[in-house]
Structure 1
């Protein structure tokens, strides 16, 4: 067998992959990472100052960059934006409302035994919803709830990433309007390299007065754009097992051996490797039909806080994690069938058949 034959790729199986499962695993890793903080068990596993959840978010972003770029090139500009809004905002807004008017009152009753002043004590439930409704998370607390837990006052420490993911959606929307971006991988590659250079030099930008929001976008954008770049490679050359194994080896070497920017530099290699794994590792049929990863991600933190309120912090730690996984999974499924899937059907009924499997594989989040 020649080298050329051995390295020949096969088309990526867009409708027969396990990306739903991979995203759910990444969301579960975020839950596990946050469990250490929320239950008062220290900081948990770290690498180069980043916890397990941060690395899982990186995995989310590289896969999202791949899928969202495909979505951009397959749909008109207005339709693309409508799809992205429908995928992110309905579930997000419902999560804010449920947190403010279901979870927080329960917490108030557990902590104080009364709801007196709940609706009027800043930050009020309505202030919490309105202050966060743009995806940019300004408020984490609601009134005097969550004051007796190891991680006080924070109702959802996971939602902040959604703003930066949507910023990346807009960036790809703009790039997708350029003919050169649609025809060739080179502009996507240049965009990735530039974003990596911005991240490497971000400390200089901060000296010029740019705030934390710029720092966080600079940190996450290379992961997303690395996935976007790999989309063009996979579309043209397919995916190859030997190349994928090599890409995973390079990604791990960069992540482990290069502090601070090694993970960002590894983004294209990580994307290629994860895509190959998702094409050879099967997923349960139920997971293929139901993409609960987004709901799992947005509901995990408040569920963890509520379980801590009812003595979760004193539980056997693996049992605490198991209980929060089960409860979060149940809420994620409800979010999927009652909110997310319906929202997608409203904006693209032909693309979301009964089980919504097509939409779950074609340009979803997270």
Structure 2
């Protein structure tokens, strides 16, 4: 069984790029400015799509290497929850009291304060009492958290499909992919009723990004039978751009294939510098967690008087600094607890073996 060569790929850089695209898109949205779009979707949504493609590919890789339910979910939980818990606490107990318009006592005893901690259980809560109520995008504390329950559901789906299907994992994954793509089409073009919410997450929003996880999973399952070529990736990008202007009704079908193909082609064709991007750590998850509250805080203290460029730059720098702390103080330490890992394994030069601390279970 082939596996991802941790030393000869661009996964770390692409994760960083995806996080930056989210920052870029949210910087415009939170300032009330027009949002850059690509292939019919906001640039921030494109970043989320890339994250889901990578996750589908690498989580399937993780299952194929170690198809045991308990270790699988322990690894997933160690990756998601420790950093999320700390982020939620910082937002509620540090940022909130500083910027709330309420008296401190009223803030802490407000039901909305306790409600915010449901984010730890992957039940999205976006506001805190009196926080950011004068911002251009009012009340939202961390709008990025909506994708985490969708992500974790996809993790569960990989395990469920593998257990149910036995040796027919590819067929069952294809069926699941058709179902989520169909759900996306239904919500996008046919459903006009009230919003459907499942476990505090909008079904339509979830359906819009889940296809990219499952297509990424399929690419891993057929890795030895397909060729990821740069020239084909360029042709697909150009063809999708033409579809956007000529046949926009077909755009979703194109992006389901084009975004995963281009993303994984770029990831698996190592570039000399980009393949070393993650040598200091994987900061993408921390950037994703902290960028939104950082943006809202900057806008709050600037009294809604920030340019897009300044907000985007400052957010990238500050969220990267927070992500560095999150990785070295929380995420890496948690990942060293993964089953089968030894915290004493090191490589030459005194650094930790990246197979121990990598964020996405790349091969041992």
Shorter-normalised TM range: 0.7 to 0.9
Q: 1:285-309 deviations in whole A, cap 9, x for unaligned?
A: 3623401000000100101111112
Q: Once superposed, what is the RMSD of the aligned Cα atoms?
A: 2.8
The TM-score with structure 1 as length reference comes to 0.84
Structure 1 segment 1-366 matched on structure 2, within 5 A: 13-40=5-32, 42-47=33-38, 50-75=41-66, 76-108=68-100, 115-124=104-113, 126-129=114-117, 131-137=118-124, 139-177=125-163, 178-182=165-169, 185-202=170-187, 204=190, 207=193, 210-211=196-197, 213-237=202-226, 239-250=228-239, 252-253=241-242, 258-259=247-248, 262-263=251-252, 265-278=254-267, 279-281=269-271, 282-283=273-274, 285=276, 287-311=278-302, 313-348=304-339, 350=341, 354-355=351-352, 357-358=354-355, 359-360=357-358, 362-363=360-361
Conservation of the 8 A alpha-carbon contact between 2:56 and 2:214: yes
> What secondary structure sits across from 1:346 in the alignment?
coil
Structure 2: gaps (5+ residues): 346-350
- Whether the aligned pair in 1 keeps the contact of 2:119 and 2:145 (CA below 8 Å) is no
Structure 1 unaligned residues grouped into runs of 5+:
1-9
Decide whether the 8 Å contact of 2:56 with 2:215 is kept in 1: yes
Give me the whole-angstrom Cα distance separating, in 1, the residues matched to 2:294 and 2:326. 14
Change (3 A) 1:205 1:24: same
Between the aligned partners of 1:58 and 1:164, the Cα distance in structure 2 is 12
CA offsets per residue over residues 53-107 of structure 1, 9 Å max, x none?
Answer: 1111111111111111111111112211111111111111111111001111121
Residue 188 of structure 1 aligns to a residue whose secondary structure is: helix
Give the whole-Å Cα distance in 1 for the aligned partners of 2:27 and 2:206. Answer: 25
TM-score, normalization: structure 2? Answer: 0.84
Query: 3-state DSSP class of the match of 2:222?
Result: helix
Change in 2 beyond 3 A, CA 1:11/1:240: farther
Distance in 2 (CA, whole Å) between partners of 1:254 and 1:78 is 44
CA contact (8 A) 1:12 1:238 kept: no
Change (3 A) 1:252 1:305: same
Deviation, 1:257, is: 5.2
Please state how far the C-alpha of 1:261 moved relative to its aligned partner: 6.3
**Cα deviation 1:124-149 (Å, max 9, x = unaligned):** 2x3311x3222120x22111121121
Cα distance in 1 for partners of 2:182, 2:240 equals 18
User: How far 1:36 moved relative to its partner?
Assistant: 1.5
